[in-house]
Every structure is written in C-alpha cells, then in structure tokens.
Amino acid sequence: MTESQESNSGATPLLEARGLTKDYGDTRALDSLDLAIAPGEVYCLLGPNGAGKTTTINLFLGFVAPSAGQALVSGLDVSTHDRESKRRLAYIPEQVMLYRNLSGIENLEYFAALGGQGSLGRKRLIEILGEAGLDAEAAGRRVSTYSKGMRQKVGIAIAIAKEADALLLDEPTSGLDPTASSEFSALVERLRNRGVAVLMATHDLFRAKDTGTRVGIMHYGRLVTELSTAEIGHADLERIYLEHVSDNGGRR
C-alpha cells in the first residue's frame, strides 16, 4: 500500500457504486456493483469485452441511467446531480478524439472552458500541455497532424486543467506504444499523488498491476474479485484473472 493510499483509506470515497445495476432489455450488463474509490486511489477494472467495464464508466458519466442502485461522485448521485457530478469528473476514453481543425491549445482551451475553468490564458494552457508531455511547438499545431499518443496527452491535459476530484479512464493505453504507455502511466501517477481518485477500465494486466492500487475483475457484469496490487505479483494477477474470466469462473 502506498503512502497516499494509506493516508486516504479512511476518506470519503470520490467514486462510489452502490448496488449499481444496468439492464439492456433482458440482458444484464452490470449486476449490483459495489465499489468505493478513495482520494489518491487508482482502481483498475479488468475483464473481457462485455464484462461491464465501459457500462460502469458510462453510469458514472451519467450517459446511461441505472436500472437499480446509485453511482456517486464526491457523494453526489449522478442521476440527480448530472451537471455537478460531471464538474467533479474528468474522462479520458480509449481514443481521445479532438477537433482536427483546432490546435492542441485550442482544443484544451475549449474543453477546459466547458469543464468550468473559464478562459485559461495561453501561457497556462501551454504549461498544462507541457505537464502532459506535449511541447509548445506541437501544442500550437492543428490536431489533424497528431499521433494517437499526442492526442492522449491532450486528453490528460484536459483532465489536469479540469482539476477534477476523480478521473475515469476507458482503455486509455490501448494502441499506445510502450513508451507512450509508460508516459501515460506516469501522468496518472502524478494525478493520483494529487489526491485524484482514478477508475481505469483496461485489458492491460501489466499496466493495471503497475499503475493501480486496487484491481477488480469483472465478468458477465459482475465484480467477481477485488485485489490489492501491493499484495500480488504480475504472474499472480494473470493467473487469478484467467481463473475468474473462464466461463466456469465467471458464473460461479
């Protein structure tokens, strides 16, 4: 357990799911999820496609309404406090999509303004982009020239600029090369150290063990096990994962 985690283990969770359930017709996409992520904690949701990871993130974002239960952000029920809860959240999807005709600075300025930060000055915007790993020259260029890794950095910059309590990451390192992936993890680490609660859905067991403080394995919409990354090695995680996501394991 890290120092930050220890210091925050008793704090009010910034992200919390209480019996969170989502049905799409007859299909249960998420089944009574209970989850609490404290400040400075990075919770990695693992699981195969269709396990319910993205549904969980969508429920925290208020993009879909729960069939039962609650999703809370900083204690606010997302269903009844849509805007206030989103103000406290930052979100980075698998593919950070930006406006191709705008520069990195302009994209950041736009998303930051919509996120409630008003008009940040150009200097501050360049600083934030620099903090996310994008140099000033690249920041001034149109996004149409960016690689995926550069777009992800702008996504991180948007999250930094928002100064959110919690960060939702949906497969953020998918498709990134190892260097970019490692840089991304370092940025998440920095946010975590600032007390941000992070929920990251990922297929990347290595990154989950490396970046996360806790790991939850989901299968068929259910959280089948929860582990502290401090207590397991990479090999253990892989073994446990495979045990739980086999059909027998998942339906136990």
Partner 1 sequence: MIHHIVRKEFTDMIRDGRFRWSAILVGSLLLVSLAHGWVQARKASQELTAAQATAREHWETQGEKNPHSAAHYGVYAFKPRLALSFVDEGVDPFTGTSVWLEAHRQNDFLLRPAQDATAAQRIGALTAAQVLQHLVPLLIILLTFGAFAGERERGTLRQLLATGVGWRELALGKALGASGALALLLVPAAVTGAAALVVANPGPTASPLARGAVLAGAYLAYFVVFLALSLAVSARARSSRTALVFLLAVWVVNGLVAPRVAVDLSKRVYATPSAFEFARTVEREMADGVEDIAPPDRDESTERLLAEYGVERVEDLPINAVGVYLQESEEFSNRIFDRNYGALWDAFRRQGILQEALAAAAPSIAVRTLSMGLAGTDVEQHRHFAETAETYRRDLMRQMNGDMTENSLTGDFTYAVGAELWESVPPLEYEAPPLGWVLGNRILSLAVLGAWLAGAVLLASAQVRRAEVA
Give contact residues for partner 1 (rule: CB under 8 A).
Answer: 58, 61, 63-64, 82-84, 86-87, 89-91, 93, 95-99, 101-102, 106, 110-111, 113-116, 119, 155, 158, 162, 168
Least CB distance from residue 244 to partner 1, whole Å?
A: 28
Identify which of residues 111 and 146 has a Cβ nearer to partner 1 in the complex. Answer: 111
Pairing mode of beta strands 42-46, 197-202: parallel
| CA atoms of 244 and 94, how far apart (whole Å) | 24
Least CB distance from residue 214 to partner 1, whole Å?
A: 23
Rg (CA), the chain: 18
Least CB distance from residue 81 to partner 1, whole Å?
A: 11
Q: How far is the CA of 150 from the CAs of 66, 120, 128, in angstroms?
A: 34, 21, 14
Identify which of residues 169 and 187 has a Cβ nearer to partner 1 in the complex. Answer: 169
Least CB distance from residue 183 to partner 1, whole Å?
A: 20
